[in-house]
Amino acid sequence: MAASQFPRSCRSVPALSRSILLHATSRRSLYSPSGAPPKWRPSSALDEWVQREARPISLRQLTFFGRTLTESRLLSSANYVRTELPTRIAHRLRDMQTLPYIVVSNSHLSHVYELYYKAFEKLRRVPEIRTIDDNDRYCTVVQDTLREHLTVIPQLAMGVLEIQGLMKPEDTDKFMNTMLRSRISRRTIAEQHLALTETYHSPWHFPDAKVQVDANSDFVGEIFLRCSAKEIVEKCATATQELVRKAYGSDTPVPEIKIQGHLDATFPYIVSHLEYIVSELLRNSFQAVIEHNHKRPEPPPIDVLICETAQHVIIRISDEGGGVPPEILPYLWSFSKGPRRQLRLENLNRVPRMAATIQDLKIGPRSSDWKTTGNGDSSLSSLTARSPDLRLGIGLPMSRIYAEYWAGNLEVHSLEGYGVDAFLQISKLGNKNETLTTRASMDA
């Protein structure tokens, strides 16, 4: 919005205060006594978008939708994303506007606010997508926004650490949970649409064919229909062992991983979400076992048990790493409180842009062609692939948000002096909607 559209008195205030002020004045003080906005003043676009409810989707719906990818389905997917992104961002902007002013004027949080406002203004203006060319242009806009928002996680994480004492810790954590959950949801629907568009353009896809050439493919966009718990654990274990060796030195004995139980369990899932959670849990276990057993030439193994039930797959990861230190235990799920605050802030400062998942990493460096993916950008850190000594304090709470997003669950039981049992429960039917609101477990 041009500066000339603001009342004269607002022109010198920073952008965040301007938009809050404008918002406040357009809603309240400039209204006539009857409560109706005066005719000469347009009502806030944000007010309009906040009236809309987000329309949650399930893995099953996403799969069904993308299975036979016709032009009309791709355009419907584009228009779903076109209206969902500004709706979901509008709700988060409104959340931020209701925070105490001193909180939202924190430099990191106002950076996020400005990014979101800019994205909202850009995305809400995209007209209906009617052709494949419209869609390709739209995908470029989405891809650019995904890339621009790679600063959001470290900025939010630093912001909530810095505002300590200005808000109740439980309110800060609730705010952070809502922001991150919503971010996952937006990135999921955006990335799924980009992946479908990529499939649509791929040489082996014939949109008019009655039988799809790729009908037997195990992937629908980002969804892997036969995600194997055992294979994911193995893959994450190998990658994490590698990181651990780098951090502790190649002669440090690294614990073995023993996988038992229902080794054939498969389910539909977004692989990058599961890899994020499993890698995070394994990192914690490796680190604890190595540090707790540093004198033993052969550290005790990390036991992984996979259990499949009618509705769920449960992955239990048990280590003998001595348990969570009692001074940290009460803050295990908190983004804002706990010891080591200073260290966390310093470490977060070292990662200005952060990819939460492998999927985020694929967004990579700026390119004018959204179909060109791949990461060649060394300033971009992945939350999963970071060195285990880079303690940020957000891996575990973030993992629980990922787990709950597709109606799953994550619990950690610490046996003081002995070790930790982490239970990850996955809803295996894919029929549950994404969780957009903060779950009860967050309120506790």
Nearer to ligand COI, 96 or 288 (CB): 96
Q: What is the arrangement of strands in the sheet containing 223-228, beginning at the earlier edge strand?
A: 219-220, 223-228, 266-270
Q: Are 37 and 30 in contact (CB under 8 A)?
A: yes
Nearer to ligand COI, 142 or 232 (CB): 142
Q: Are 388 and 282 in contact (CB under 8 A)?
A: no
Please list the alpha-helical segments (H only) found in 293-437: 341-349, 358-363, 395-405
Q: How many residues does the chain have?
A: 444
Q: Are 218 and 359 in contact (CB under 8 A)?
A: no
Q: Interface mask (CB under 6 A) for ligand COI, residues 173-192, using x and -?
A: ----------x--xx--x--
Which of 152, 233, 281, 288 binds ligand COI (CB under 6 A)? It is: 152
Nearer to ligand COI, 119 or 398 (CB): 119
> Which two three-digit tokens encode residue 333?
């799920």
CA distances from 436 to 88, 401, 404, 413 (A): 9, 10, 9, 26
Nearer to ligand COI, 120 or 331 (CB): 120
Interacting span for ligand COI (CB under 6 A) from 24-32, 55-63, 141-149, 297-305: 141-149
| Closest approach of ligand COI to the CB of residue 355, in Å | 11
| Closest approach of ligand COI to the CB of residue 153, in Å | 9
Nearer to ligand COI, 119 or 196 (CB): 119
Which of 77, 97, 145, 285 binds ligand COI (CB under 6 A)? It is: 145
Q: CB burial class (10 A; 0-12, 13-18, 19+) of residue 141?
A: middle
99-138 binders of ligand COI (CB under 6 A)? 119
- Between CA 340 and CA 362 the distance in angstroms is 31
- Between CA 396 and CA 387 the distance in angstroms is 15
Nearer to ligand COI, 113 or 286 (CB): 113
Count of C-beta atoms within a 10 Å radius of residue 103:
19
Nearer to ligand COI, 259 or 356 (CB): 356
Which of 82, 91, 149, 312 binds ligand COI (CB under 6 A)? It is: 149
Provide the CB-side half-sphere exposure for 178 (13 A, CA): 18
Q: Are 59 and 268 in contact (CB under 8 A)?
A: yes
Nearer to ligand COI, 20 or 90 (CB): 90
Interacting span for ligand COI (CB under 6 A) from 143-151, 245-253, 310-318, 435-443: 143-151
| Closest approach of ligand COI to the CB of residue 375, in Å | 16
| Closest approach of ligand COI to the CB of residue 120, in Å | 9
70-89 binders of ligand COI (CB under 6 A)? 85, 89
Nearer to ligand COI, 146 or 278 (CB): 146
Q: CB burial class (10 A; 0-12, 13-18, 19+) of residue 136?
A: middle
- Between CA 158 and CA 111 the distance in angstroms is 11
- Between CA 178 and CA 97 the distance in angstroms is 14
With CB under 6 A as the rule, give the number of residues binding ligand COI: 12
185-244 binders of ligand COI (CB under 6 A)? 186-187, 190
381 sits in which H/E element? strand 380-382
| Closest approach of ligand COI to the CB of residue 92, in Å | 8
- Between CA 141 and CA 132 the distance in angstroms is 14
Interacting span for ligand COI (CB under 6 A) from 22-30, 139-147, 159-167, 228-236: 139-147
Nearer to ligand COI, 150 or 315 (CB): 150
| Closest approach of ligand COI to the CB of residue 353, in Å | 11
91 binds ligand COI (CB under 6 A): no
Which of 90, 99, 146, 396 binds ligand COI (CB under 6 A)? It is: 146
Q: What share of the chain is helix, strand, coil (3-state, %, to 5)?
A: 50, 15, 35
Interacting span for ligand COI (CB under 6 A) from 57-65, 146-154, 284-292, 305-313: 146-154
- By CB under 6 A, name the binding residues for ligand COI: 85, 89, 119, 142, 145-146, 149, 152, 183, 186-187, 190
